[in-house]
């Protein structure tokens, strides 16, 4: 894990004369993914799964050290934070219901509600099976964007936007990608940057502006 504008020396991170705490490798039975900084830079959100399981658990930890705080169970992708940091958005696969849900909750994980859903095998961006994607919240707070696909094994992903508070989604780009990617809005919400391979790139990741 790398902190912005810092240097690593023997596992410790320094910023000026301040030595920041060590971020130790995950134990062999754990996997970390979906690291996301809070807008004020004081916290990191991350998802943890145990070996041989598919249950992702969202945690929050202070950047300058301290115990991690468990927030939400059953998270399938990196979270997105609302502009004021008061809410989070994440993807949850609910196979028993035949749904893939885009969920919004308070920043502590309470008061969950479904912003929009896709019927399986269609999926929103996720971080499984070699994919690495997640939602992005616009700076005006009105829209969540993410890539979506027709189902597991599909090599066609499109960019969709979900108006808040409750959809429905709409496709916002004619471009198609060969894999899931993580989108990020420009500061004025005028465009999105997405890290994903296009259909002609032989699965080589690219940064695209849409």
Task: Quick: pLDDT tens for 70-98.
Answer: 999 999 888 999 999 999 999 998 888 88
Choice between 192 and 140, residue whose per-residue pLDDT is larger = 140
Neighbours of 174 (CB within 10 A): 8
The answer to whether 55 and 47 are in contact (CB under 8 A) is: no
Nearest in space to 56 (alpha carbons), one of 79, 37, 87, 22: 79
Whether the pTM exceeds 0.85: the reply is no
Nearest in space to 147 (alpha carbons), one of 102, 109, 186: 102
Choice between 69 and 206, residue whose per-residue pLDDT is larger = 69
Q: How many C-alpha atoms does 110 have within 13 Å on its Cβ side?
A: 2
pLDDT value for 69: 92
Average pLDDT, integer, range 85-113: 91
Q: Is 97 left (phi over 0), alpha (psi -120 to 50) or beta?
A: alpha
Burial class (CB in 10 A: 0-12, 13-18, 19+), 76: buried
Range picked from 9-13, 25-29, 39-43, 176-180 for highest mean pLDDT? 39-43
- H/E element, 32: strand 30-37
Sheet holding 87-94, edge to edge: 80-81, 87-94, 99-106, 113-119
- The Cα 1–Cα 162 span in angstroms is 30
Residue found under tokens 């996301």: 36
Residue found under tokens 């999105």: 192
Structure token pair of residue 1: 């894990």
- Cα of 93 vs its chain's centroid, Å: 14
Q: Does residue 172 have a pLDDT over 80?
A: yes
């Amino acid at each position: 894990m790398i902190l912005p504008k810092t240097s690593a020396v023997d596992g410790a991170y320094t910023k000026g004369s301040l030595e920041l705490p060590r971020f130790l490798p995950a134990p062999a039975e754990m996997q970390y993914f979906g690291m996301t900084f809070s807008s004020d830079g004081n916290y990191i959100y991350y998802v943890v799964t145990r070996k041989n399981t598919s249950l992702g658990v969202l945690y929050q930890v202070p950047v300058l050290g301290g115990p991690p705080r468990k927030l939400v169970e059953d998270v399938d992708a990196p979270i997105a934070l609302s502009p004021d940091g008061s809410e989070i958005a994440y993807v949850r696969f609910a196979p028993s219901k035949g749904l893939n849900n885009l969920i919004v909750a308070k920043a502590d994980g309470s008061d969950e509600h479904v912003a929009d859903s896709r019927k399986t095998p269609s999926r929103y961006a996720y971080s499984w099976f070699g994919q690495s994607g997640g939602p992005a919240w616009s700076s005006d707070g009105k829209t969540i964007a993410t890539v979506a696909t027709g189902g597991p094994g599909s090599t066609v992903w499109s960019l969709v936007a979900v108006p808040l508070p409750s959809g429905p989604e709409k496709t916002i780009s004619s471009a198609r990608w060969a894999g899931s990617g993580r989108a990020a809005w420009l500061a004025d919400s005028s465009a999105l940057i997405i890290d994903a391979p296009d259909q002609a790139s032989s699965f080589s990741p690219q940064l695209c502006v849409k």
